[in-house]
Structures are given as C-alpha cells and as structure tokens.
Structure 1
Amino acid sequence: IMLLCPPVTSQRMQGLLLLIFAKYFHLPFLRGVQTETTRTGLGGYWGNKGGVSARMSVYGHTICFLNCHLPAHMENSDQRMEDFESILQQQQFEGQAATGVLDHDVVFWFGDLNFRIDDLDMQVVKSAIDNNKFPMLWEKDQLNMAKDSETVLEGFQEGPLKFSPTYKFDVGTNTYDTSGKKRKPAWTDRILWRLRATAPALGAGKRGSISGLTSGTKVTQHYYRSHMEYTVSDHKPVSSIFTLQFPYKVDIPLVTIIVEDEWNCVADAIAKFKMAPNFSRSSWDWIGLYKVGFKHHKDYVGYVWAKQEEADFHRQEHEVTFTEEELPKGSGDFILGYYSNNMSTIVGVTEPFQVIITLHCFLEVKTMKCVLS
C-alpha cells in the first residue's frame, strides 16, 4: 500500500486501459511523459486489438510501458507477432532520446497477448495442469517458442509460469471452458520486460529473477502470479511486482519548495521556492496545498498562482502566501506541490508538514481585520 499514489498518465483504446501511478516524491523526477495508441483490429481501423503505451524519463532513465491485445485463436501465432512488430513500428515518441518503444532503457510489455499451447491435446494439457507439470507446457507455449526464432523478441524476459493457465474459464467459476468450443487452456495473459544493452545474466536470487544493464540498472521481479478468486471474466488476472534500481542521472527537482515544519496560524502560510536554471516557467503555474493521501494534481485543498513578475527575473528565490480562504479549517498532514502548466505535471514537492490552524486563530485574524478597517 503506497502512502501517496497520484496518477502520472493514462491511455485508453476501447477495452485497453493503461494507468500509471507514482508515489508523490517521485513526481518531480518523472519527465517527458508521452502516450501512444495503435489500432490493429480490422486492418488498423478498429481498436479492439492493438496497443497503448506510456513512456517517461525516471531519474534520467527512459522507461516505456506497453499494453497489448493481440489476435486470438490457436492458428494466429504468426499474426500475433506481425501485429506486435506493427505496433512497435508505429509507436514513435517525440524527442531525441528513445523515439521508439525498444529504444528505452527499460520496457514492460504486458496484456492479453493471446499466445496458446501448441501440439498437445486438451486432455494432456489438463492433466499437466492438475498435476502441476507446468514445464512440459512451457515447451509448447507459442510465446516461449517464438523467443527462439523472432528477432524482435530478443532481450525480452519473463518470470516462470508457475501458475495455471489463465484462459479460458466458464464465467463465474474456476472451471476451464465447458462450452461447445472447449478452448484449450493457455497462458494468454503475460507480463514481460526488456533491458536495452543487457549485460551477462546475473542469475536468480532467492526473492526473484534479476537482470541488469551495463549502466548499472537492475530489474528484480519479486513475484509473478494469477488471481483465481476473480470470476467475472473468462480470463484470470495476472500481476507482478518489480523493483527497479539505477544510479541517479537526475536528482535535483526542477522546482525546490521550502516550507516550515508547521503552520500554526494564517501568518505562517508562506512558501518559498527556487527553480533550476533549465526550467521553463509559465504564468499559469501554481502551488497547491495537498492533504497527505491525494490522488490527483487537482485534489488540492487550496492553491496560489506562482505568477512571474518582471522583478522576478533576477531573483533566485521566490515567495507565495496562502490566504485564509486557501487553508483547511482544521489540522492535518499536508504537502505543497508546484504544478507546471508547460509540462502538465507536478515538478516540485515538499516533505509532509503539519497544518494546525484552529478556529480561534481564524477568529483572531478576522478581528484584526475588523480593527484595521
């Protein structure tokens, strides 16, 4: 369970949905966020099949997430590979670094990839599942076999399929297809990853498989599993948890916000901020006050414009003040976040601090205003 998980971006194409979330303190180091969609259904006219992706730079390292729904049916293994290659060719991003999906330092590829189990008949497959003899099925898995012959799959890795095939079930049950079609069970739902310019394999640790880049980036998979408890679909959901480790290339936020540990009264509600030399500021930028646990950059309690005045051009440090109307009428833990209009994201945050402004404090301020008037 994450302390704060605001959304970074999202992309949808009919039944395909990709959501990217991040802990709040990572937000200032996620840059160059872009999304793409590619339709492959009905010759590229329909989005029931295809891919949606999101890419970004994370602490200076490029990462791409690609969610695909590839063609169905046993005999369409070649078509699945053709569609995958078509998606990779069509998805191009702006900028000089990592213009294509496979140009990224790390790629996560997942979704209903629809690969099936070849050669073995239904009874052999079901017997292997019942007796947990998964290795004999791995050898006939179309995706595993394609890795040996398809150049485009070079470098893609996947954790061991130690769970039962996730397709096809009678809806509402854990029983494989009993309809007239009697689809053979298969691992259609997959999660793979790829590292650019991989170094020699580092082996597998006790807690999961590990792979690394020559630049020092490492990906560790902690688990890879299905969820049999969900019965609303003829597929079973699949999930995985990874840890990414890499040396910082970018470790200074574009905007640094300075705030006191506590705001005890309206007069304390001041924030100072300074910007990195390469930051492109907009007059539509603002600083929001967020309660710990916020889920979106618009979930602020209050905000103030970080307006750029002529006198600001030569200042290294700037200041904003929150008025009574922008403050919560009670206590709690909050953070400040600087929202960049040009980049459409939060580019600077504070550590959590306390706001302890009581009703008595508000009454005192109002009384002072009355006396001064």
Structure 2
Amino acid sequence: MNVLGPTRSSAAMKWNSLIGDALNRFTTGRRRRDDDDDEGAQRHGQQQQPFRCVVSEQMVGIFVSVWARSGLRRHVRHAAASCVGAGVLGRLGNKGAVSVRFLLHGTSFCFVCCHLASGGKDGDAQLRNADAADILSRTTFRRRTTAAASPAPEELPLPRKILDHDRVVLLGDLNYRIAMDDAEARLLVRAGKWSMLLENDELLLELAEGGSFDGWREGLVTFSPTYKYHLNSDMFYWSIDAAAGGGDKQQQRAPAWCDRILWRGKGMRQASYERCGGYRISDHRPVRALFDAVCELAGGGVGVEHSAAGIASFGHVPLL
C-alpha cells in the first residue's frame, strides 16, 4: 500500500485496525452462513479462528501488513522487516520499498511493497528498472540477535536477501507506463483495446527481456488501467482536462497499469489477478491477487498443506 504523507504510526495503526476488522468481519459472516447450512456443526471448529497481524511496517508513504489465521499463526516464525529508500538522493524514502519476511512451517516468504520512480518521459523506465535492482540488491534482513530466537538444530540459516527466500511477492505502485505514442495510446484506451496497449507495457517488456526482473512472473492482465483517475470518479484524468484544453500536459498522459503484483519461487500458483472495483478515493485503482502456496514442513518434510494468500496493492490512498 502506498500512503500519501510522512511516516505516522497512528495512520499505520488505523490501517491495521481497519484491515483486521474487515478480515474478521468477513470470516465471521462466512462462519455464520456455514453454521446455517450445516446446522451448527462447524461452529466449535471455526469460532476461534480470527485473523491476527503477523508483521507490519511503514516507511514514509509505503506500508505493508501481513495477516494470518490464528490457527496458522503459531506456525509463523522469525517475522522481520527491512526498509530501503530510493527517492530523492536515493535514500530519503519517498520512493523505495518496505519488505517483510517470515517462515511458515519450513518455507520462507518475503513480501516487497514498492514505490518506484514516476514519470512518462524517455528514460524514466530505466530509472524504475534501476530502483528495482537497487531494492533487490540493498534490502537485507538482520540475523537473529537473541538466544531465544536461535534456530532449532534442524533449521537452516534464515535468508537475508529478498531473492534468497522460497516464495516472494513484489507489489505496489511500480509506475510503469505505455511505451508508445501518446495519441495512439489514447485511441486504444477509448476503444478498450487493452491487449494492444499491453503489447507496449514497459513492465511486460522488461519481464520479457529479463534485466531487473529476471525470473519474476506476473499473471495475465485482463483488467483496465489502474492510473490516472479523477477522485471519486471512473473518468480518466486526461479524458476531461485534455478535452477542455486545460491542465498540466504531463498529467494528461494516457492511462497505464501502474499498480502491479509479481511473484517468483516454486510451489506457488496464482488463482486470480484482478482490479478491485468500487474504490475511488485515489487517482489509482487497487489490484489484488490470490495465490496457493505449498509449504514444506519444518525439519525438511514435504507438506501437503496449501496456504491461500490474498494480496492487495493500493496506490496513493490518503492518510487516516
């Protein structure tokens, strides 16, 4: 989640409260439906299964929060966070990434929430690629620092770098644009020809070439562009202002898929990838993905348990 404004712990706490309320309200509602359908047979088994926060972290305007069911939470260990700034002067944190990692059973997970360089001018895509490479290179998780946190004899050393983890998800306002003539892109947007636009999507081109995202994957993009919209509207920013001949020329650039979710690692399957409808409090539109992930058991045994992870990327939502 990319949140406008300086670091404020109160804002992060408020977002965590809202996330927890939403997750547990959904779980409670579904449990009640199950109880009605099964005449209460599932009541005792599911009643004590609310979601709990595993780890959350904020750096300036970037915030990430990971949650797990209470029944699964006891299998989550060694949660940690790492922040890397890539903004003004490369270190101030208005751009960059917040990464969190943990072990689920014997499998390491890492979630990387990014805000890469903005802009649609020539050369800006290279700045985004450089930001991504810098984040992947510089992000480091600390080693265990207390005796209580020492690994069990059968545990391998914890991964310290993003790419050392078994399953990795990278998401956020990646800011990639459409690499084609602006006027032509607008015609395709008006016609709703997303597949033709995506042939020139900067991120998809970079994924195909390797480079900063070598080994990463993205699900099929079938949704409309996520940026840039008028607040509380489904109208693209340029569709009104450009037609009227007003507004900043740079802000009139054709829409793009700025908000994305990538992943890498064996044992992951993406079940869905879509844009969230109904959220109009930002000039971005959030996207979400659902993954099934296979987890090895602690000690090296192969687990048959699958863990579903819902991932959402919100670009530029207001502080609360």
* TM range, smaller chain: 0.5 to 0.7
Tell me, yes or no, if structure 1 residue 164 matches structure 2 residue 206: no
Cα contact 1:59–1:251 (8 A) shared by 2: no
Task: Report the CA distance between 1:4 and its aligned residue.
Answer: 1.0
TM-score in terms of structure 1 length: 0.58
Say if 2:187 is the partner of 1:134.
Answer: no
Q: Structure 1 residue 146: deviation in Å?
A: 0.9
Which residue of 128, 146, 156 maps to 1:80? 128
Structure 2 residue 117 is the aligned partner of structure 1 residue 71:
yes
- Provide the rounded CA distance (Å) in 1 between the counterparts of 2:229 and 2:177: 14
Larger radius of gyration: 1
Deviates most, 5-14 or 148-157? 148-157
- The question of 1:50 aligning with 2:50 is answered no
- In 1, Cα distance between equivalents of 2:61 and 2:142: 26
What's the RMSD between the two structures over aligned residues? 1.9
Task: Return closer, same or farther for 1:250/1:24 CA change in 2, 3 Å cut-off.
Answer: farther
**Pairing 1:234-245 to 2, within 5 Å after superposition:** 234-245=283-294
Instruction: Specify the alignment match of 2:31 in structure 1.
Output: none
Q: Distance in 2 between matches of 1:121 and 1:40?
A: 28
Deviation by residue 1:114-150 (Cα, 9 ceiling, x = unmatched): 000011323x334433444222111100011112334
> Is this contact kept in 2: 1:221–1:241, CA < 8 A?
yes
Structure 1 residues not aligned, in runs of 5+: 196-212, 253-373
* Equivalence map 1:262-273=2 (5 Å): none
What does the per-residue CA deviation read over 1:141-181, in whole Å, with 9 as the maximum and x for residues that have no partner? 00111123343312211111101110001112111113423
State how many pairs are aligned.
230
- Larger helix fraction of residues: 2
Q: Which amino acid aligns with 1:72?
A: S
Residue 255 of structure 2: which of 165, 185, 198 is its match? 185
The percent identity for this pair of structures is 32
Residue 152 (structure 2) pairs with residue 92 (structure 1) = no
Q: Contact 2:104/2:295 (CA < 8 Å) preserved in 1?
A: no
Which residue identity is paired with 2:295? F
Tell me which protein shows more strand as a share of its residues: 1
- TM-score, normalised to structure 2's length? 0.68
Higher relative contact order structure (alpha carbons within 8 Å, sequence separation ≥ 6)? 2
Provide the rounded CA distance (Å) in 2 between the counterparts of 1:228 and 1:129.
18
2:166 aligned partner, one-letter code: D
DSSP 3-state at the match of 2:134: helix
Find the residue that maps to 2:95 and give its secondary structure.
strand
Structure 2: where are the runs of 5+ without partners?
A: 1-25, 28-48, 144-156, 242-246, 302-320
Question: Is contact 2:106–2:295 with CA below 8 Å preserved after alignment?
Answer: no
Counterpart of 2:8 in structure 1 is none
- CA positional deviation for 1:227: 2.2
